[in-house]
Structure 1
């Protein structure tokens, strides 16, 4: 394995801090608040950092307002983000003015306006808009390799060389497709299958059932990295919480494949780290 990108210390540390402050926010006043809004297919996550770029509060909520990387319930998305913003403001005792947001790579022309309008509609001033794998790299801090963000609806890929993005792509295969397979295999409603899939104690049992979909994700990755000298693959996104997914992708791509302790929170924290504070 390459030694270039072998240390997840910062990533795992900031994710652990975030998990803690979701349960118990840090209410000590900060001179600046950096907020990241991640509008996912399965979850909406809002992360708040202080002046030292450390997590102080956050919320996540299951929502089906996005499909295949595109907003399908515009008003619902605004309402949920506004509620989360108000909850966090109440906990922190301050107004959260500025936020960054992100969207799947390659969809800027299609949907960047919609994402921006949702976050603004919820009461934020959007100070940065970036693609999801690039946002995640603010937490992963890799110089070379492919970051693969497997969300609910799409798989986004960003290839890095010497710290710069050299290729991005996004394709409609993700956690929703995993849930559909579980739903079909167990003859259970989609919502029930979604919950069953998310429960870690079921992961060993459902992994063989999900193998064909994971192999499809692997083939998407292989196709996009074939023209680049990629040595390692890094997984983020809620779907990557599936225990053992990295082993199947590693076997199919032939490349070392790794993920942080809770890959669901890498992207929203990276979005928050890219939030800019505007001059008053």
Structure 2
């Protein structure tokens, strides 16, 4: 058991700082900038940290260039990341050179090369490629437990012991499935359902409708943590922005479950924290 469960205070403060600089970039005099690129199924997020690994700028854009953790619109992904890079460089009055990226756990051989190529084609020097849950834990700092990254297409699970990854998995079921359920329940097209889901004012109404899908996510978690001494669970990823999702997961798993402030930004910030000045070989 963890000697001390994770505290979300530091994580939430870090995310709060990032939210602020997305709207108000900081033109600091930094000797280097570290960038994290998160190519999500529903949203592309770019986070920029200064030499002290403090947030100075960021951007995000909802897009349909990745599905189920796989890049399906290669040119579209490059164009989005390149445009975000250029916009952030203009705001910071500097060149962004180094970037890291992440992929769903256990998919390195399937799509790692495509993600790396997108980041490089957008004009960055690629310095690191890691799995999404491990990236998120750079912010969460969990020692013993599971980080569950519920993205648009898949749910990634990383189990940590003494702060080290001992098991990873990635399973279909994510935000896309949430939107499909909403689409069927309300007679909306997929795009309308997806936008309806993002509005926090609709979450209380949507939670009972989405409860079976959340329970499916929880069952996936239960399946993969079986046999491991998991004492706590942290939920990250844009899909986890759904109000109340953590309560359902905790009830289904019987394990204390945390959700940080704006879980959509935890992974990209963790990616940026893992950026270096040494080119990835």
Q: CA deviation at 1:261?
A: 1.1
RMSD over aligned CA atoms reads 1.1
Q: CA deviation at 1:3?
A: 5.8
**Matching residue of 1:113:** 113
**Matching residue of 1:68:** 68
**Matching residue of 1:93:** 93
**Matching residue of 1:275:** 275
**Matching residue of 1:81:** 81
Task: State whether residues 6 and 141 of structure 2, in contact with CA within 8 Å, keep that contact through their aligned partners in structure 1.
Answer: no
Q: CA deviation at 1:2?
A: 6.1
- Residue 30 of structure 1: SS of its match in structure 2? coil
- Residue 51 of structure 1: SS of its match in structure 2? coil
Task: State whether residues 2 and 143 of structure 2, in contact with CA within 8 Å, keep that contact through their aligned partners in structure 1.
Answer: no
Per-residue Cα deviation, 1:246-276 (whole angstroms, up to 9, x for no partner)? 0001111111111101111000000000000
Distance between the aligned counterparts of 1:6 and 1:69, measured in 2? 27
Distance between the aligned counterparts of 2:6 and 2:223, measured in 1? 24
Per-residue Cα deviation, 1:14-55 (whole angstroms, up to 9, x for no partner)? 100000000000012211100000000000000000011000
Distance between the aligned counterparts of 1:238 and 1:39, measured in 2? 12
Distance between the aligned counterparts of 1:162 and 1:218, measured in 2? 24
Distance between the aligned counterparts of 1:278 and 1:255, measured in 2? 39
Structure 1 moving runs of 4+ over 2 Å: none
Q: CA deviation at 1:172?
A: 1.1
Distance between the aligned counterparts of 1:274 and 1:242, measured in 2? 27
**Matching residue of 1:146:** 146
Q: CA deviation at 1:6?
A: 3.5
Distance between the aligned counterparts of 2:259 and 2:277, measured in 1? 30
**Matching residue of 2:157:** 157
- Indicate the larger mover: 2-11 or 118-127: 2-11
Distance between the aligned counterparts of 2:30 and 2:217, measured in 1? 41
Uncovered stretches (5+) of structure 2, i.e. residues with no partner = none
Please say if 1:250 is aligned against 2:250.
yes
Mapping for residues 4-15 of structure 1, pairs under 5 Å: 4-15=4-15
Mapping for residues 28-67 of structure 1, pairs under 5 Å: 28-67=28-67
The normalised TM-score by structure 2 is 0.98
Distance between the aligned counterparts of 1:220 and 1:133, measured in 2? 15
Please say if 1:266 is aligned against 2:266.
yes
Task: State whether residues 6 and 140 of structure 2, in contact with CA within 8 Å, keep that contact through their aligned partners in structure 1.
Answer: no
Distance between the aligned counterparts of 1:249 and 1:10, measured in 2? 23
The normalised TM-score by structure 1 is 0.98
**Matching residue of 1:220:** 220
Uncovered stretches (5+) of structure 1, i.e. residues with no partner = none
